[in-house]
């Protein structure tokens, strides 16, 4: 009987143990170690900053496929997919590639200003001759002259809109004052010369995105002049608080314009219909060089003699200004790259990159002459640098 009881107990125990056997249950989270060369790279997951730098172990990650992004000053941003599995710890090693700015071609020209149209044509003034130069750049960054438009005398500032078939330049009169000349791009015909009394110096020109309005900044008289670009006639003038230095039409509303102003040291958003200041924010000294991010949610400008940048969030008009870390005399201009964490700046003879999360300077490229302006092509693969003696194309390795 005892043996039977023992046998029954053993059988029950074995049955119980067999009933308890199952696959292990893992939590619906996992972990990852991320290593980079060099280290100290910022880590983002699914577009969100984690406020972590490599090397790092990240625990408690939801199971599934995620996109990790690594950002590092002076190195290209790297993104990669990674599947997180239940209860597992993944290990990832990534080499980061350094940023390169590669000079591709040059075009000899003594131009004081340029305007790059959405069609990819580059309109350049001529400081010593009567022709406006129209240049093109091929897919390999090679520059060539596509056309010359006779403007009657040397020109200083320029604004063009290919779809509207209009190009405007400022031209100095024998008495030293400046006039505006409107021309047809296709026929080269001068439509009209616009002369207003007591304009010694236009400080900026800008054409609205639809090509209907030319805005000209008359700095000495503290006003904007609005011109019907089709008829080349003055529509109205709008007074400004300070001396206007640069103009940029609002990317979200073509009937508004951003204006930097010196002495008053302010950036105004002005309604062109009413002339009213919609919004305003303080700047540093000698503001100018307005530029936009890729989503038209932030507008930036240069505090030229302070050698700093200011970025404004246009939804709430909060701002942030870079530190005074760059060495030079004056910032000429700036622009955002295709990757919003990098901006390009032009300072004296140099163009360099700024790592926006920390405002750090990165790689630079030297110009043999002082810079007038920089601009990005529409695909943002190339940078155009205009200095006092040439136009230079640069491939961006970002």
Reading the chain (398 residues) residue by residue, the pLDDT tens digits are 445 544 545 454 445 445 555 566 667 899 999 999 999 999 999 989 888 999 999 999 999 999 999 999 889 889 999 999 999 999 999 999 998 889 999 999 999 999 999 888 999 999 999 999 999 999 999 999 999 999 999 999 999 999 999 999 999 888 888 999 999 999 999 999 999 888 888 999 999 999 999 999 999 999 999 999 999 999 999 999 999 999 999 999 999 999 999 999 999 999 999 999 999 999 999 999 999 999 999 999 999 999 999 999 999 999 998 877 776 788 899 999 988 889 999 988 889 888 888 888 877 888 889 999 999 998 899 999 999 999 999 998 87
- Write the CB contacts of 398 (distance below 8 Å, at least 6 apart in sequence): 76, 77, 99, 337, 338, 339, 342, 353
pLDDT at 269: 98
Percentages (nearest 5) of helix, strand, coil residues in the chain: 5, 55, 40
**H-type helices in the chain, by residue range?**
2-20
pLDDT at 82: 96
CA distances from 176 to 159, 179, 197 (A): 21, 10, 12
Q: Are 237 and 225 in contact (CB under 8 A)?
A: yes
Alpha carbon distance 334, 353 (integer Å): 9
pLDDT at 16: 47
Return left, alpha or beta for 286; rule: phi > 0 is left, psi -120 to 50 is alpha, else beta. left
Please say whether the structural domain 100-397 has been given the CATH code 3.30.70.270.
Answer: no
Numbered ranges of CATH 2.130.10.10 in the chain: 100-397
Architecture category of domain 29-95 in CATH: Sandwich (2.60)
pLDDT at 2: 43
Closest CA to 109 of 70, 138, 148, 77: 148
Alpha carbon distance 351, 372 (integer Å): 11
pLDDT at 297: 95
Numbered ranges of CATH 2.60.40.10 in the chain: 29-95
């Amino acid at each position: 009987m005892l043996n039977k009881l023992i046998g029954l107990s053993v059988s029950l125990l074995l049955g119980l143990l067999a009933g308890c056997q199952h696959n292990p249950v893992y939590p619906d989270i996992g972990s990852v170690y991320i290593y980079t060369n060099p280290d100290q790279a910022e880590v983002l997951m699914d577009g969100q900053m984690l406020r972590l730098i490599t090397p790092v172990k990240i625990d408690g990650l939801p199971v599934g496929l995620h996109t990790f992004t690594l950002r590092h000053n002076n190195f290209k941003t790297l993104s990669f997919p990674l599947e997180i599995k239940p209860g597992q710890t993944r290990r990832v090693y990534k080499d980061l590639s350094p940023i390169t700015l590669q000079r591709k071609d040059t075009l000899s020209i003594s131009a004081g200003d340029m305007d790059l149209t959405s069609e990819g044509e580059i309109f350049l003034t001529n400081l010593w001759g009567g022709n406006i130069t129209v240049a093109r750049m091929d897919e390999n960054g090679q520059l060539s002259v596509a056309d010359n438009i006779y403007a009657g005398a040397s020109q200083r500032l320029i604004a063009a809109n290919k779809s509207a078939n209009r190009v405007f330049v400022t031209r100095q009169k024998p008495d030293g004052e400046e006039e505006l000349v409107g021309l047809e791009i296709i026929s080269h015909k001068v439509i009209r010369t616009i002369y207003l009394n007591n304009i010694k110096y236009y400080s900026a020109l800008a054409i609205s995105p639809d090509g209907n309005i030319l805005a000209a900044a008359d700095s000495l008289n503290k006003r904007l002049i609005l011109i019907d670009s089709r008829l080349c006639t003055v529509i109205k003038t709008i007074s400004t608080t300070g001396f206007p230095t640069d103009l940029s039409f609002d990317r979200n509303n073509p009937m508004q314009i951003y204006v930097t102003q010196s002495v008053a040291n302010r950036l105004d958003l002005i309604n062109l219909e009413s002339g009213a200041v919609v919004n305003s924010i303080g700047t540093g000294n000698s503001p100018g060089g307005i530029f936009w991010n890729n989503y038209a949610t932030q507008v930036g400008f240069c505090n030229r003699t302070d050698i700093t940048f200011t970025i404004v969030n246009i939804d709430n008009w909060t701002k942030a200004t870079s530190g005074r870390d760059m060495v030079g005399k004056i910032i000429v201009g700036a622009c955002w790259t295709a990757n919003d964490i990098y901006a390009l700046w032009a300072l004296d003879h140099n163009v360099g990159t700024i790592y926006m999360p920390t405002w750090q300077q990165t790689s630079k490229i030297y110009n043999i002459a002082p810079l007038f302006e920089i601009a990005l092509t529409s695909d943002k693969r190339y940078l155009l640098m205009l200095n006092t003696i040439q136009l230079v194309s640069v491939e961006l390795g970002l």
